[in-house]
Amino acid sequence: MDYTLLNNGVKIPMLGLGTYRIGRTDDDVYNAIRTALDMGYRHIDTATLYENEAPIGKAIRESGIPREDIFVTTKLWGDDVLKNEIPQAFDQSMQLLDIGYVDLYLVHWPVKGKLVSTWREMEKIYASDKAKAIGLSNHLQHHLEEILDEANVLPAVNQVEMHPYVVLNDLVDFCEENAIVCEAWSPLGSSKVPLLEEKILREIGDKYGKSPAQVVLRWNIERGVVAIPKSSNKERQAANLDIFDFKLTPEDVQLINSLDKNYRTGIHPDEIGF
């Protein structure tokens, strides 16, 4: 596993497990997380929206792995921002997870007119030491600029949809210039697009004995982007972790970048209805 450092010195694994719809029941979720932790995952990404914090927390507690060895992220949902209930929302996540602290707390989506006031509340949560780092998700450059202008604590992370169909080089560069680590959600492009069937990815993978999915994940981490592929399947979880024994050439990277269509499978951050 490779790690990078957040702007406050906290260490984050470059690959984590996404958990949106990872299981239909709490038992499914629990089992998927236990399986992932047993095989070596040390970074789990959840959110209030996913309604799975309780079984994830239970799986972490019962894994036998020291708490400090697992990086856990959860996220603040926009409804709680609109209700002015940010501290209550955080406390609720903490109660459901029941793991003492979270490593990273993110604002899930930008809420219009409330970017800076939300960030102030996030800074208070950071000061409480119950979140070791705070950051953003689905924020574009203009959202980041508005927050950076007023921030006392710099956002550590911006997590957005990112894969070879939506490369977002400008956003990655802006984040790097501002010491914000980018994370990719749906790094494999989700099942809504045929990204993993691209011939280019198959041909690159064949050179290294790797699958298109492994090539895409490697491409993410080589550009400094933390990837959190979701899989509830043991074999695919293992495959997604097995990307630290090969390296792409600059030509491979150029070919992968050429797939860019600036196409999101999810909502555009300016169109979220908060």
Backbone region of residue 107 per phi and psi (left: phi > 0; alpha: psi in -120 to 50; beta: other values): beta
CB of 5 to ligand A2P, least distance (A): 25
3-state secondary structure of 83: coil
Catalytic (active site) residue 30: no
**Helix, strand, coil % (nearest 5) of the chain?**
45, 15, 40
> What's the min distance (Å) between Cβ of 142 and ligand A2P?
25
* Comparison of 21 and 124: residue with beta carbon closer to ligand A2P: 21
Nearer to ligand A2P, 158 or 186 (CB): 186
HSE-up of residue 103 (Cα within 13 Å, Cβ side): 22
Q: How far is CA 44 from the centre of its chain?
A: 9
How far apart CA 175 and CA 165 sit, in angstroms, is: 19
3-state secondary structure of 86: helix
* Closest CB to ligand A2P among residues 143, 218: 218
In the complex with ligand A2P, which residue's Cβ is closer, 115 or 227? 227
Beta carbons within 8 Å of 223's beta carbon, 6+ residues apart = 172, 253
Q: Would you tell me which residues interact with ligand A2P (CB under 6 A)?
A: 18, 20, 186, 188, 190-191, 196, 213, 229-233, 236, 239-240
DSSP line for 18-62: E-TT--SSHHHHHHHHHHHHHHT--EEE--GGGT-HHHHHHHHHH
Q: Decide if 180 contacts 12 (C-beta within 8 A).
A: no
**Shortest Cβ distance from residue 84 to ligand A2P (Å)?**
30
Q: Which of 3, 20, 30, 50 is an active site residue?
A: 50
How many CB atoms are located within 10 Å of the residue 194 CB?
Answer: 9
The amino acid occupying position 60 is I
Provide, rounded to whole angstroms, the least separation between the CB of residue 19 and ligand A2P: 9
Q: How far is the CB of 237 from ligand A2P (least distance, A)?
A: 7
Closer CB to ligand A2P, 13 or 119, in the complex: 13
Q: Which residues are catalytic?
A: 50
